[in-house]
Amino acid sequence: MTLPVARVPIHVPDEVLDDLRQRLALTRWPDDAGNDGGYYGVERRYFQELVEYWRDAYDWRAAEAAINAYEHYRVDVDGVPVHFMRRPGIGPAPTPLILTHGWPWTFWHWSKVVDPLADPGAYGGDPAEAFDVIVPSFPGFGFSGPLPNRPDMNFWKVADIWHTLMRSVLGFERYAAAGCDVGALVTGQLGHKYPDELLAIHRRTRTRPASPRSGGWRTSWPAIAPPGTTTST
């Protein structure tokens, strides 16, 4: 690793959990008149059951222990705090792989595939196909927060941060990338901007064309497109 990085197990203090339970207990529920069957939206009864479970039955410490079965690190990348989870690959030459979550999910969205990717031999696969799995939290999300004074953060800037993480922090010369939802945008940008360093990309997302009558995407594109790109009709 060529930049300073700290291994930091995940731990939420007891007082934070106690404060959460107290705030959940003090929830002021609105009226739900005429909302039978969710006519106007989520029914109050469902929310009450969910909050009661969250307050009285959900075991954060068990979830925390499962999360800490993996390696966790924090690093500062160009002034942006970044948390990432790592599962070293088990095989003769694991391929570095960065997985990017979507919105509103977290790094834990990938938890069910991390082990099979890192240790395929334990799941009936070929150890030669192992990956060294890196799963960062989006800037400002979860353990990558808070994100101070960066209202300009967007998917192509996140791609630059991920590239620095993989190359300058972890020291990988080349790597693969996969992502879903907005993570697919980051992954696509990695492949577009850094083709020589990317071994492959995999994007898991679903899109649909804009209404042919509106052409609204043409007006919104300048707000989301990376600098230097253009559209054509």
Domain layout of the chain by residue ranges? 10-69, 71-224
**Edge-to-edge strands, sheet with 131-136:** 6-7, 71-77, 80-87, 131-136, 95-100, 175-180, 198-204
The model's pTM: 0.83
Q: What does the pLDDT look like over 11-60, one tens digit per residue?
A: 999 999 999 999 999 999 999 888 888 888 899 999 999 999 999 999 99
Q: What does the pLDDT look like over 180-221, one tens digit per residue?
A: 999 999 999 999 999 999 999 999 876 555 554 445 545 555
Where are the strands (E) in 48-182, listed by range?
Answer: 71-77, 80-87, 95-100, 131-136, 175-180
Percent of the chain with pLDDT over 90: 73
Query: The CATH number of 71-224 is which of 1.10.3720.10, 1.10.530.10, 3.20.20.70, 3.40.50.1820?
Result: 3.40.50.1820
Determine contact, residues 47/77, Cβ cutoff 8 Å: no
Res 150: pLDDT? 83
| Position with higher pLDDT, 2 vs 119 | 119
C-alpha–C-alpha distance, residues 187 and 199, integer Å = 12
For the record, the structure tokens of 226 come out as 């990376």
